[in-house]
Amino acid sequence: GGCNWITCRCGHQFCYFCFNTDPQHHNQPCNAPPDKTAQGAQSDLEYYMHYYDRWDGHRKSQELETQLRQDALSCMEDLTAHADHPSLQIDLAFLSEGTEALIACRRVLKNTYPYAFFLPKSSAKELFENLQARLEAQTEQLSAALESRQPLSAEATAEERRAHKTKIVNLGADARVRLRHMREGLEEGLVPKVTPAKPVMPTVGRPSGSRADPILL
């Protein structure tokens, strides 16, 4: 799946983004950018890579979680085929609904990182990153829950299945709330719109005083 808390086959667990191995880091936001007070190419690169890695990580997670849509439908079909109650198809709709909420959150979350990269340091950026962190934490929790299939297996008890359903329904509802808060923050002007800096247009290969062709960096 697309959850960014990785469990290796050897049992070692770590965060895909920052390699933190603290179990408390699981389901916690990992969006705090590096300190930008230092000057120099190394500092600039670390700052850029922070945003790029998280954009790319959420992009890959979105691709994996899009597959969860089909997996959820297959799981619903398998369980329904072995069910005695025809209403089970409706009861299992929480899998599909949770997956759609996850994909929507991941799509928005992915695009918050390029946006945040261009935001100048300010109280508005802190507010934006707070909304981003809340959405990210909720998204990771929902992703981890949807990846778990054991509570839906034949060995699971009815109580375990009900608990799993309740968990996904609640996480999906909370994720939609976080997603709405992020959108409202942008639409209502809580976070300023970003105006990208003009590209640098150096002159190359021409004598001094001549007109040069622009090169966009």
Catalytic residues: 3
Residues 6+ positions from 20 with CB-CB distance below 8 Å: 14, 30
Among candidate residues 55, 37, 57, 33, the one with its CA nearest the CA of residue 46: 33
Pair 4, 140: CB distance under 8 Å: yes
CB 61 within 8 A of CB 106: yes
Find the radius of gyration of the CA atoms of the chain: 22
Distance separating alpha carbons of residues 65 and 99, to the nearest angstrom: 8
Alpha helices in 25-92 (DSSP H): 41-81, 88-91
Euclidean distance between CA atoms 86 and 82, whole angstroms: 10
What count of residues does the chain have? 217
Q: Which helix (H) or strand (E) holds 5?
A: strand 5-7
